[in-house]
Amino acid sequence: MELRGRMRRIGVFEVCNALIMLAVCFLTLYPIWFVFINSLNAPEKAILGTVNWFPEAFSWASYSVVFNDKGLMNGFYVTTMRTLIGTTAHVLFTAIVAYGMSKTNLIGRKVYMKIALITMLFSGGLIPTFILMTKLGLYDNFLVFIIPAMYTFFNMIIFMSFFRTIPDSLEESAKVDGASDYGVLFRIVMPNSMAVIATISLFSAVYHWNDYYQGVIYIYSQENLPLQTMLYKIIAENSMSFMQQQAMAQFGARLPGNSIKFASMMVATLPILLVYPFIQRYLVKGVMIGAIKG
């Protein structure tokens, strides 16, 4: 009887746990589904603002306006290039720094670590940073997205912890064969660190793709604005008049502002959502490896 009671309690716990997980999944996914459905609604249905599980009248009108807008497509190109170049530069530079810092015989290693830790806890503030970027010639420059984001102390710690798990014998054998430090890093260490590389790449790519603040502060020309900054301005300033005029010229009807906003959100969100599932399996492994010392 006692065993049956325990099994019943375990069964009730599993059911409750499953229900909670389903509720969390629903609360997480429904906002995305709501935006997607309303972006596909016909203009006359989307303007009503009703909540639906499926489009009442299917229409590509909002997406057609978004993809025909040269400004948004240029923003999409800027964001794509920023994500690709920024992620590559961040991974390479941070890995090189972490490889050197992972060596206990590095002269001044403790001093470097303390200095880097201070920069993680404190920053110069917005105005000094803005002045610095201006003096470096990065104001309204595409490189303002790349150079300041090439290194973060937190990601360096993850890289460094991972590199310490690689056996020293691999590096020693490579150096016996005449490999330099860079040769060991790129031929031995990096190929054996794909889990942490995928993890840091995901962190960096999500940051570059979703960031709008750098564009708001440092960019004023239209050709250098990333997609997320343009989307922020569309939502914050409600500047839909030009795109609505395009819709009237193309479809003979005035598309509601919300419909175009929803379509713009999906165009900005979908690429990173499609990439994430392919890198997800590396995430936990890349973060946790090296954290447990045996």
Q: What confidence tens digit (pLDDT) does each residue in 24-39 have?
A: 887 777 777 877 887 7
> Looking at residue 3, what is its pLDDT?
46
The average pLDDT across 260-288 equals 69
Among 36-45, 109-118, 139-148, whose mean pLDDT is lowest? 36-45
What are 202's two structure tokens? 């995901």
Residues 101 and 113: their CA atoms lie apart, in Å, by 8
> Looking at residue 12, what is its pLDDT?
67
Q: Which is more confident, 154 or 260?
A: 154
Cα–Cα–Cα angle for 34, 38, 40, nearest 5°?
A: 125
Instruction: Report DSSP letters for 238-262, one per residue.
Output: ---HHHHHHHHHHHSS---HHHHHH
Q: Is 155 within 8 Å of 198 (Cβ atoms)?
A: no
> Looking at residue 160, what is its pLDDT?
87
CB burial readout 108-143, b (16+ within 10 A) else e: eeeeebeebeeeeeeeeeeeeeeeebeeeebeebee
Mean pLDDT of the chain: 77
Q: Which is more confident, 5 or 120?
A: 120
Of 169, 199, 208, the C-alpha closest to 85 is 208
Report the largest interatomic distance among the alpha carbons of the chain, rounded to a whole angstrom: 78
With a threshold of 0.85, does the pTM exceed it? no
Of 258, 266, 269, 255, the C-alpha closest to 61 is 255
Residues 21 and 149: their CA atoms lie apart, in Å, by 35
| Percent of the chain surpassing pLDDT 70 | 76
Q: Which is more confident, 44 or 178?
A: 178
Residues 121 and 152: their CA atoms lie apart, in Å, by 12
The average pLDDT across 282-294 equals 53
Q: Which is more confident, 185 or 63?
A: 185
Residues 192 and 211: their CA atoms lie apart, in Å, by 30
Q: What confidence tens digit (pLDDT) does each residue in 61-92 have?
A: 677 777 777 777 888 889 989 999 999 999 99
